[in-house]
Amino acid sequence: GDKRLEELNVADTTCGYCAVGCRFDLYSDGEEILAARPTEAEDAPVNGISTCVKGKFGYDFVNSDDRLTTPLVRDERGEFREATWDEALSRVVEGLGSIQEEHGGEALSVIASSKATNEENYLMGKFARQVLGTNSVDNCNRLCHSSTVAGLAKTYGYGAASISTDDLEIADCVLLTGSNTTEAHPVLATRIKQNVRDGADLLVFDPREVQIAEYATQYTRVNPGYDAVWINAITRHIVNNDLYDEAFVEERTTGFEAVREAVQEFTPERVEEVTGVPHEEIVSAAETIADADRCVFGWTLGLTEHSHGTENVMAMANLAAVTGNLGKPGTGVSPFRGQNNVQGGGGDMGPLPDNFPGYQDIADDEIRAKFEEAWECEISPEYGYYTTQMFLAADDDDLRGMYIIGENAALSEPGVNHAEDILEELEFLVVQDLFVNETAQYADVVLPACSFVEKTGTFTNTDRTVQMVNEVMEPKGDSQPDWEILQALANRMGREWSYDSTAEIMEEVNSLTPLYGGVTHDRVESEGGLQWPCWDEDHPGTERLYADAFNTDDGKAHLQAVGYSEPAETPDEEYPFTLTTGRVLYQYHTGTMTHREEGIMQYTPSDFIEINPDTAANYGIESGDMVRVTSRRGEIVVSAQVTDRVGPESVFIPIHFAESAVNRLTDEEHLDPAAATPEFKVSAVRIAPDEGD
């Protein structure tokens, strides 16, 4: 534009797309977001001056024509019409209130949003428990890393990355699995690649030869669904050949003998048969890890989105512990979190059916009493429903009303044909979002929220760093930040909330959540980010977990023997291929934001299926042909991309598109027993050239 930079609004803020947590200065002119520029280096601990296309250019959605700027309610004919806040909120109070009166608060649930700030997610949990009287509050973490959280909590004590992002750059070896790092976490990939250029080893185990595999010192293709098998095989080679860290195992772990015994069943023959990995590749990976002084183990949803994802994670946790790779610079485990604030808003802030903020168990009487006193309400010790279970519970009328905030459940749930039926049948549904997304089509009332550029608060990124989000423009139209909407509703439903700012909400979090005891806005602002645990005002925050002790009763890592599990659904004659799903660089989740970016839509405008050249030849399919893909739960038609990125037994479809909604094919019923995560990464399907109707 014609204006000089200094005449514009500027705010230093944290990216609202992925959980890498890049920071930059955002410039706006009134409503228009003009540019993202690097901020002071000390204020950008994760990215320095780097960003990716989403953080740099992904802002068209803010002013997109279909951005919601007023509340919507259904008229007599069932069509949406615009409404005042007063009318819309009255309808919500009436809708949720009458279910609460007739069937009790447990008949209601809240899906919170990992796109929203920590402060807002804290209030979403409080709203569910205090105002509605239900423990059924959950969020998208259920669909991704909840098995990481469960597996790491059980072994080490904290369901989070132990490392700081810098460790990816100082490790001698990085093992990556189930992570399309270049596309899903671009700035982390940049840092790993830099480390590889400087001589570090990079081991990539993945069913798809993802882009980062090009930089790997070893890329190994694995069959989807058997990750614990090859991980246990690596551990087996390490312990059987005395390559493990005896001192670390002795002093800092329990359960080693059981693990040593459990991994013996993963013999070279069996491992090769099940995972497709030749023994030499197990040996070379094991020796590279054992030789390295410092190794980081990184993963994304390829490891977790399984009916036994928690076991996969525990197998990885065992491997990191037996090799002594925890608590020191350049070592540790790093689940790369997806949503910008899924670590903080999705976990730490406790919009969870079983936990208060800071992973405090609701079944613990003392802890529950603390929250009952602070929130002036009674709280049931019974865990509520996980997101995935909400949709099953609604089948039996155990759940009748939902309040869904910033989550496109109609596309993101597994088995969406089923989820659509449930949304349709609910007695009352409130959706709070930036857009009338696919889920909002089923709503009785839609409340217009605003995006991260229009509000102030904090996000917590994938390495536990809490960072400021600062408003760079006023809320669009009549939209409001989630926290203000929740406060208005709480007050209409008989409570007295009187927060003037998100800083005040954070003070309440500080007082109730030991992990965040010293994480005040003032400190986050002046120190350029704070990593939890940060127990009090004087605590400096924690760069690396487990330097001295694990977060368990005896301070040791509790290794867990992990045996053999199969995916819930394996290929057979009728459905001979394994379908996996995932992300692409230029898109983001269900596309609510990125589909409104003209520049971004030029790159990956529509859905596709990756098919191996051999498979394609067998079926007479060429790139660009339309292919019908069928599972036991549904059918979609997508265009073919013939590529050897996938092996001959599997196919891949991205998750971002409504027209073809790959989750029509996935399975809503077989959930991880510990974490209730669905098995997005393995569905049996058949394919056929689509002849049209």
| Chain contacts with ligand SF4 (rule: CB under 6 A) | 15, 17-18, 20-22, 47, 51-52, 54-55, 186-187
Give the residue with the Cβ less far from ligand SF4, 141 or 389: 141
Non-local (6+) Cβ contacts of 517 within 8 A are 510, 534, 535, 536, 537, 539
Distances from the Cα of 182 to the Cα of 192, 384, 596, 638, angstroms? 10, 37, 22, 24
Closest contact distance (angstroms) between CB of 644 and ligand SF4 is 27
Give the residue with the Cβ less far from ligand SF4, 20 or 394: 20
Give the residue with the Cβ less far from ligand SF4, 221 or 596: 596
Hey, what are 92's tokens?
Answer: 């919500």
Give the residue with the Cβ less far from ligand SF4, 22 or 646: 22
Closest contact distance (angstroms) between CB of 684 and ligand SF4 is 33
Q: Tell me which residue of 644, 679, 649 sits closest to 213, measured CA to CA.
A: 644
Residue nearest to ligand SF4 (CB): 55
Give the residue with the Cβ less far from ligand SF4, 12 or 413: 12
Give the residue with the Cβ less far from ligand SF4, 15 or 238: 15
Give the residue with the Cβ less far from ligand SF4, 136 or 465: 465
Instruction: Give the max Cα distance, the chain.
Output: 74
Closest contact distance (angstroms) between CB of 18 and ligand SF4 is 3
Give the residue with the Cβ less far from ligand SF4, 182 or 388: 182
Give the residue with the Cβ less far from ligand SF4, 136 or 460: 460
Residue type, 339: Q
Hey, what are 544's tokens?
Answer: 């690396």
Closest contact distance (angstroms) between CB of 638 and ligand SF4 is 25
Closest contact distance (angstroms) between CB of 338 and ligand SF4 is 10
Closest contact distance (angstroms) between CB of 429 and ligand SF4 is 30
Give phi and psi for 512, each to the nearest 5: -110, -10
Q: Is 417 exposed, middle or buried (0-12, 13-18, 19+ CB in 10 A)?
A: middle
Non-local (6+) Cβ contacts of 103 within 8 A are 400
Asked whether 190 and 162 are in contact (CB, 8 A), the reply is no
Q: Tell me which residue of 175, 180, 167, 184 sits closest to 45, measured CA to CA.
A: 167
Give the residue with the Cβ less far from ligand SF4, 10 or 93: 10
Strand (E) or helix (H) holding 11: strand 9-14
Q: Tell me which residue of 92, 68, 89 sits closest to 433, measured CA to CA.
A: 68
Closest contact distance (angstroms) between CB of 167 and ligand SF4 is 17
d(C-alpha 112, C-alpha 123), whole Å = 10
Q: Tell me which residue of 336, 335, 463, 348 sits closest to 112, measured CA to CA.
A: 348
Closest contact distance (angstroms) between CB of 434 and ligand SF4 is 17
Q: Where are the alpha helices (DSSP H) in 482-566?
A: 482-492, 502-512, 521-527
Closest contact distance (angstroms) between CB of 189 and ligand SF4 is 9
Return the SS3 of 185: coil
> What is the dihedral sign for C-alpha 101, 106, 110, 111?
negative
Closest contact distance (angstroms) between CB of 53 and ligand SF4 is 7
